[in-house]
Amino acid sequence: MRTNKVRDIWNAGGNVVNGWVASASSYTAEIMAAQGFDSVGVDLQHGMIDFDHAIAMLQGISVQEATPLARIPWNDPTWIMKVLDAGAMGLVCPMVNTAEEAAHFVQASHYPPLGFRSFANVRGPLYAGTDYKARSRELVITLAMIETKDALDNIEEIVAVEGLDAVYIGPSDLAIGLGHDPVGDPTEPEVLEAIAHIRRVSEAAGVKPCIHTAGGDHARRCFGEGFRLCTLSNELRFIIDGAQREIGKARA
């Protein structure tokens, strides 16, 4: 019987360090999952990944200790059902702007009576165990992305939605929504206050605040502020940063 490591860490009072994969490669996903991340997300929204790639990538993550997560392209029950069936243990849903949209996301992610997800005996039960259906409420984590001015204005209602486990802040889109340039590690006071407000409201509602960060230093600050899951950029940024660093050493 498999548990969801992310929820286990949260239940123990700890914080989750999440990896992120944007390139369509099961090998890259497996490598990322082997580096010590608590979880690794497959990015079907902005990554160069389709559903067939996602299945292989979730399989690659699943052979390691990291929990497989995914960001779906949109708040669409078809994508939600198929990616969960493929073995994701948690979903990040983009552009959740209202309580109604958050409820739709949660309900599509869960079986009755909480939701309306349809059951299929495919990779979910194969990966998590034959009692997957009975334990699915614990196994599947829902993270609603808060990344617009509308979502900021509606945050109290969003975090009150039954069954929503976490909110996931996208700093770049949130900055755009507030009239600023998209920056992974924002410095604009208005953006920083919006992020802090989302965190405070989420914490008060018992919903875990999570955020996409620009790297380890940014994540450490966010953990210190009370965030419970931080994503450390993605593997493409690690490749670019590592290549530029080594090229700089060579040319020096």
- pLDDT higher than 80, residue 214: yes
- pLDDT higher than 90, residue 217: yes
Span 125-142, mean pLDDT?
A: 96
Distance of CA 47 to the CA centre of its chain: 13
Which pLDDT score, from 0 to 100, does residue 78 have?
A: 98
CA-CA-CA-CA torsion sign (27, 229, 46, 183):
negative
Span 224-242, mean pLDDT?
A: 97
Structure tokens given for 205 = 């509602």
In whole numbers, what is the pLDDT of the chain averaged over residues? 98
Which pLDDT score, from 0 to 100, does residue 46 have?
A: 98
* Confidence band of 236 (pLDDT split at 50, 70, 90): very high
The 10s digit of each residue's pLDDT in 63-120 is 999 999 999 999 999 999 999 999 999 999 999 999 999 999 999 999 999 999 999 9
CA-CA-CA-CA torsion sign (13, 211, 97, 77):
negative
Which pLDDT score, from 0 to 100, does residue 1 have?
A: 77
Question: Domain containing 31: what range?
Answer: 5-251
Structure tokens given for 180 = 């600023």
Q: Give Dmax (Cα) for the chain.
A: 63
**The domain spanning residue 193 has which CATH number?**
3.20.20.60
Structure tokens given for 238 = 């690690």
- Whether residue 229 contacts residue 18, with contact meaning beta carbons closer than 8 Å, is answered with yes
Domain count, the chain: 1
Active-site residue 46, yes or no? yes
Span 234-249, mean pLDDT?
A: 97
Which pLDDT score, from 0 to 100, does residue 238 have?
A: 97
Structure tokens given for 26 = 């099961």
The 10s digit of each residue's pLDDT in 24-59 is 999 999 999 999 999 999 999 999 999 999 999 999
Q: Please identify which of the residues 46, 197, 212, 218 carries the catalytic annotation.
A: 46
- pLDDT higher than 80, residue 246: yes
> Between 236 and 1, whose confidence is greater?
236
Q: How far is it, in rounded angstroms, from Cα 188 to Cα 65?
A: 37
Is the bond into 113 cis (omega within 30 degrees of 0)?
yes
Which pLDDT score, from 0 to 100, does residue 65 have?
A: 97
Q: How far is it, in rounded angstroms, from Cα 106 to Cα 117?
A: 10
Strand partners, 70: 42, 91
Span 150-179, mean pLDDT?
A: 98
